Structure 1
């Protein structure tokens, strides 16, 4: 558990006006020592812990992040307790992100941890798509993101009008007003204003944070169901888009990631919450079906293959999100359902797609253990 030491200021109480005046004329008042960066970061970290502790019990229920962050965030953690799968090599995106995280000092890591968790709560519980959303650090992905969510809403047969697509931007941390709204979600009211001011202070006094543009702050995407804080939404992080671009997947990044996250909404709509790798592999399959389908993006075979390699880049080596090979296989399976169906314009009902994938899922699972395969078969 991270250090939760709270730095408390000292309180001085004057015994009376005369005594205070005498003291002031005899000895110059001692100025309070300015807080160090270390103290600021530690206090902010504690404030964010207190914020998470004060959230409603169901605030983060079933919220699913695309990857387990290389920075150990405050709040929800999904990494499986099991050890790594023998012989597995994590995906290239995770390798790249972990390399960035390894360059951080402990102080920088603690600051990133606190601010990343804070920014996730802002985009989950405060922001709304009623305000214009700007995707990408310079807005370069806004058009693609908007076109993708519009197409997805007409593609799958689920209630879609209330699924928000929101931009996850580290630069939002620079707004004290936005941070005050965020801290108000669970922090004691008397502490909100100071905590918000401290968040923006730390953002700019720790240089590696780049004023919110360090990709690690928002190197993720997530999907949230109706009952969670803020309701149904898909959030797309600028840091994730920057990283995927650096790895050479820019041609398919926005469409693939939103297609995957919308796939979680398909599962949510049918109350399908698998407790195994199919919770991530299923949305890979639904996303693959969407990008290859004639009524989706109708991407060609080369582009479809690029999507599966992007799926693989997110694979981990724990029994949680699926290995690179498993993620790739799930995406390819979904694409094949679109390219081999008799009527290329027919869209398989979402409930049927879930059933089809759960039945084939155990075959996509080597090196799954026997107990896991049995669980998967039970969901089929």
Structure 2
């Protein structure tokens, strides 16, 4: 598997990746001749690379994933430019995801890399909420996801009718029709049918992929803006929900994650695209405000705290999405805005919420030896 450094710094941009990928997938000269499976995986990797290289320039622009994947992806470049932060320990969700990734063989890692990137593109550019969406590997989260997006559409004062909520399912990779639609987004038409057939073949001939049920294939969620491929949407991965459940956050998982991703839509609506950790911490704050608010879920103090610990579990240590302490502090700040209002039924306008958070944000970014949570409590 790739090193941690490559995981955070080597996520590849949509354009100009062919040379880098050729190096990443090259077979050492001393290695034995590749097996049929190895040839299939290498060809699929190249097909997915060609697909991303053939996309319009703005196809993946602005797409914001919840976490930086443990498997290097073809797609939007990581924003992590520094790190690791001394003394920082990454959140429990990232730790667990990296443990899963470390158990993959190089062949499984390469196959999962290609298919996870392909699956993201399917849910971004092809999937639609005009067909029934099933959330969770067995549909167990469908009612909660539908309820949450409904509440959010009525809660925030942004255009919401065209924000789709779509399910990100690894098993979709087993449909040649869906994969053909996906490859048609950017691959040469003459190659689409064969590439789609190869994707489903690799899914089932590499045991570690579990026929699409390996959680790493969909261990993420993302928000996409209006001008990206497929338009405004929130995607919710089955692998993420399964993992969050395993870590003990099932009570708040769907509502917290969808609330966070919808927070990106709040930022998109106001053309707020900060190039620092506030791009992730802001949606944590907006999500915290929503779940604690009387017109949101009005969750009690214990449940609010569980949300902040879920926020912390996604924190990283690479100046990318915010450390666990910073993510926790942002969520707690948002919750406090809801519970300390004079009028508990008033919803702060979204533009004002962004302004309030950007003002407090520097106070949530303490030196490494000062916990962010303490500063957040001090500054309200």
| 1:254 corresponds to | 254
| 2:373 corresponds to | none
Output the CA distance in 2 between the equivalents of 1:341 and 1:145: 27
Segments of structure 2 that go 5 or more residues without pairing to the other structure are 1-19, 27-32, 370-380
SS of the counterpart of 2:21? coil
SS of the counterpart of 1:3? helix
Output the CA distance in 2 between the equivalents of 1:5 and 1:332: 41
Output the CA distance in 1 between the equivalents of 2:218 and 2:90: 20
Is the counterpart of residue 3 in structure 1 residue 22 in structure 2? yes
Give a deviation string over 1:302-354, Cα, whole Å, max 9, x none: 00000000000000001110000000000000000000000000000000000
| 1:298 corresponds to | 298
Output the CA distance in 1 between the equivalents of 2:25 and 2:208: 24
Pair 5,279 (structure 1): closer, same or farther in 2 beyond 3 Å:
closer
Cα RMSD (Å) = 1.6
Is the counterpart of residue 138 in structure 1 residue 122 in structure 2? no
Is the counterpart of residue 342 in structure 1 residue 361 in structure 2? no
Contact 1:80 1:319 in 2 (8 A): yes
Contact 1:4 1:45 in 2 (8 A): no
| 1:225 corresponds to | 225
SS of the counterpart of 2:250? coil
Give a deviation string over 1:263-289, Cα, whole Å, max 9, x none: 000000000000000000000000000
TM-score by length of 2: 0.89
SS of the counterpart of 1:315? coil
Contact 2:176 2:197 in 1 (8 A): yes
Output the CA distance in 1 between the equivalents of 2:249 and 2:206: 30
SS of the counterpart of 1:134? coil
Output the CA distance in 2 between the equivalents of 1:37 and 1:4: 19
SS of the counterpart of 1:2? helix
Output the CA distance in 2 between the equivalents of 1:243 and 1:5: 28
Output the CA distance in 2 between the equivalents of 1:5 and 1:136: 33
Task: Select the structure of larger CA radius of gyration.
Answer: 1
SS of the counterpart of 1:250? coil
User: Equivalences for 1:1-380 in 2 at 5 Å?
Assistant: 1-3=20-22, 36-367=36-367
Output the CA distance in 2 between the equivalents of 1:356 and 1:368: 24
Segments of structure 1 that go 5 or more residues without pairing to the other structure are 8-32, 370-380
Shift of 1:366: 1.4
Aligned length: 344
Contact 1:79 1:318 in 2 (8 A): no
Output the CA distance in 2 between the equivalents of 1:79 and 1:318: 9
Output the CA distance in 1 between the equivalents of 2:204 and 2:162: 36
TM-score by length of 1: 0.89
Give a deviation string over 1:240-283, Cα, whole Å, max 9, x none: 00000000000000000000000000000000000000000000
Shift of 1:79: 4.3
Output the CA distance in 2 between the equivalents of 1:149 and 1:80: 30
Shift of 1:77: 2.6
